[in-house]
Structure 1
């Protein structure tokens, strides 16, 4: 599964705003080449809201354990919430990570190495073993973001 496939998959959904920082657009250089997905039916990045999914193509400070500095490796990060996080990891988001956990393993659903405690899952280099699951998890994250936005605006 490629970055472009994920962008196309989410971009086909109503109300999805995709932010793709590039040189010269005023975004921090560290974010260039990554993608951030928001539910934003008005086309503006929502205030005080995190994206519901992200694609990162490099290590960030404090987030090097996925080893995204390997050629062609990226990580998709998906905010699925407490219940689905627990289903996939076998532990609650705030429970300690099991010893020996390797967040650089590819094509496997893992707890996000930094934001797992907030209900985020991740997949490094999604491939044939996780492509369908990534689509399903992205759909859940999209639905959750859409519902949250409608709840906050009073539109159900």
Structure 2
């Protein structure tokens, strides 16, 4: 099955209402922040194209490899993978049976699976279709967090 073009993923995420796109931490981050009411907003997805000091589990330095990260609610994470793994030591990956280097497979985020984030490297068109409802759940979570901060 054909891989999804990274620009297609970026364009889709950036087109959602109230979303700000920020280049930060060596990745493209997508924040819910309508009206720029918070310094950044609440983030719900990122696209990462290279390893970082504390995030090397996916070996993103391979040619053409990128990772979509989605900040799903805990329930959505647990429906896919069961209980969240414990927090890893700084610079380490979460423990579990997952291959964080495998392409086109939904996995816990190698560094942030413990808080419910999921990931996929170079999703195919079919896997992207599975990601869209997860992105919607993550965005709903970000909207709720944003609203709490604004009212706070």
| Smaller-chain TM-score bracket | 0.7 to 0.9
In structure 1, the residue matched to 2:18 is 15
Aligned counterparts, 1:34-49, within 5 A: 34-43=27-36, 46=39
Q: Deviations over 1:106-140 (max 9, x none)?
A: 10110001001011000011113411012221111
Q: Which structure 2 residue ranges, 5 or more long, are not aligned?
A: 88-93
TM-score (norm 2): 0.82
Instruction: Answer with 56-65 or 84-93: which moved more.
Output: 84-93
Higher relative CO (CA 8 A, sep ≥ 6), structure 1 or 2? Answer: 2
Give the number of aligned pairs. Answer: 143
- SS of aligned partner of 2:76: helix
**Runs of 5+ in structure 1 lacking a partner?**
22-29
Instruction: Give the secondary structure class of the aligned counterpart of 1:126.
Output: coil
Comparing 3-12 with 145-154, which one deviates more in the overlay?
145-154
What's the secondary structure of 2:125's corresponding residue? Answer: coil
* Residue of structure 2 equivalent to 1:105: 102
Report the structure, 1 or 2, having the larger helix content.
2
TM-score normalised by structure 1 residue count: 0.80
Given that residues 39 and 149 in structure 1 are in contact (C-alpha distance below 8 angstroms), is that contact kept between their aligned partners in structure 2? yes
Q: Report the aligned-residue RMSD.
A: 2.3
Residue equivalent to 2:141: 144
Call closer, same or farther: CA 1:37–1:73 in 2, change over 3 Å: same
Work out the CA distance in 1 between the residues paired with 2:16 and 2:105.
25
Paired with 1:44 and 1:61, the residues of 2 have a C-alpha distance of: 31
1:1-156 equivalent positions in 2, closer than 5 A: 1-20=4-23, 31=26, 34-43=27-36, 46=39, 51-94=43-86, 97-99=95-97, 101-154=98-151
Structure 1 window deviating more from structure 2 (136-145 vs 106-115): it is: 136-145
